[in-house]
């Protein structure tokens, strides 16, 4: 049996509230449901505290064997390294389609 298609949505930890990211998450969830695609949400910290190791491990869970595409709310993610570094890492390591909201890549 083939594995279901999966889209990963990268937001910050406040993204489940009823704000910009909450609306983005619900819209992506609805679009995925209409297309029979699973949505996995990966939440990063919203501040720059030094939880770098643990936070980056969340993003390292992304794998082309697990996800078929990535949507990143880049303007909202704070990471231990720059968002550009995170974008480069996701693009080169995964090799799956990437949609970036709030920043060009």
Using DSSP, state whether 103 is helix, strand or coil: coil
Q: What is the pLDDT of residues 20-62, one digit of tens each?
A: 778 888 999 999 999 999 999 987 765 555 555 566 677 778 8
Q: Whole-number mean pLDDT of the chain?
A: 80
Note whether 86 and 23 are within 8 A (CB): no
pLDDT at 75: 74
pTM: predicted TM-score of the whole model, two decimal places: 0.82
Q: What is the pLDDT of residue 10?
A: 87
| CA distances from residue 40 to 48, 50, 62, 104 in whole angstroms, order as listed | 23, 25, 10, 22
| CB within 8 Å of 91: residues ≥ 6 apart | 98, 105
Task: Assess contact for 48 and 81: CB atoms under 8 A.
Answer: no
- Residue 48's pLDDT is 54
Tell me the CA distances in angstroms from 48 to 28, 81, 85, one per residue in order: 26, 9, 15
* Percent above pLDDT 70 for the chain: 74
């Amino acid at each position: 049996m083939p594995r279901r298609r999966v889209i990963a949505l990268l937001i910050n930890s406040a993204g489940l509230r009823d704000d910009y990211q909450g609306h983005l998450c619900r819209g992506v969830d609805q679009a995925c449901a209409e297309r029979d695609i699973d949505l996995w949400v990966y939440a990063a910290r919203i501040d720059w505290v030094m939880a770098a190791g643990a936070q980056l491990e969340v993003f390292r869970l992304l794998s082309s064997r697990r996800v078929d595409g990535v949507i990143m709310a880049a303007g909202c993610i704070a990471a231990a390294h720059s968002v550009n570094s995170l974008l480069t890492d996701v693009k080169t390591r995964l090799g799956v389609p990437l949609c970036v909201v709030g920043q060009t890549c």
